[in-house]
Structure 1
Amino acid sequence: MQEEIKALIQNRTWDLVPRPPTANIVGSKWVFKTKMKEDGTIDRYKARLVAQGFSQIPSLDFGEIFNPVIKHIMIKLILSLAVALGWTMRQLDVKNAFLHGFLKEEVFMEQPPGFINEDLPNHVCKLNCSLYGLKQAPRAWFDRLS
């Protein structure tokens, strides 16, 4: 959790602001996962802060949403071409990918459980960047990647 919070802070994912009286405030929660090595032993424990996007209100918290999808036939085609033409294949993994997408809308989120600012306990997070769980997170990441 400390590592995840550190990445969020370094990325300036949010600013703490006074709670707006008429804004919808999205909740947040921690999701935990155990990452395994190929031999089945534990590699590390992963914690991810996730926005509770199910509570977002259309046209208030988000407008356009987008989820890039690739068909399996396209993956097979590209792999077949790579083999036939002798191409080198590489994989790209972007750590905390969705955190790199910028939000166009104003989205407010409760402070992360366990990491509430003691000096500003009633403030909320005004999100600058997308978070996992937000309805517009895939679109924001795709816009940034493009």
Structure 2
Amino acid sequence: MQARSKNHVFKPKTLSNGLICYPLPKALIATTGSADVEPTSYSTTSKHPAWRNAMNLEFDALLRNGTWTLIPPTSDMNIVGCKWVFRLKRKADGSIDRHKARLVDKGFHQQPGVDFEETFSPVVKPTTICLALSLATSADWPIR
């Protein structure tokens, strides 16, 4: 005699509020292959050409933008490390659009007043700029 669970047949569960929870058929359960998994470490990522290309693009962009200036460390400096964060950007149909790599600093090692005085991140969304410009033009405000 074979049990239902060995054949992957399960009874629906009745919840406390009276709703019935039916198990999903296997055909509806999404599975991800090894190519669809976002890596978590540099050692596994550095072996794949697509991820290496994404890291090169990110590093080149950081150099072009002048994100940092290298200086020789002194004994009183707190050296802030960094790590790579990897994401798969997908199209609307779920297929992979591109591989995205970001080099982020480990800012949690910094101490206020010792390593930095204030923080400022000049980030603005394009819709905010459009709104501000439309308000300025409709109210005849000077724009500079």
Query: For this structure pair, what is the TM-score category when the shorter chain's length is used for normalisation?
Result: 0.3 to 0.5
TM-score normalised by L of structure 2: 0.45
Q: By percentage of residues, which structure has more helix?
A: 2
Higher CA-based Rg = 2
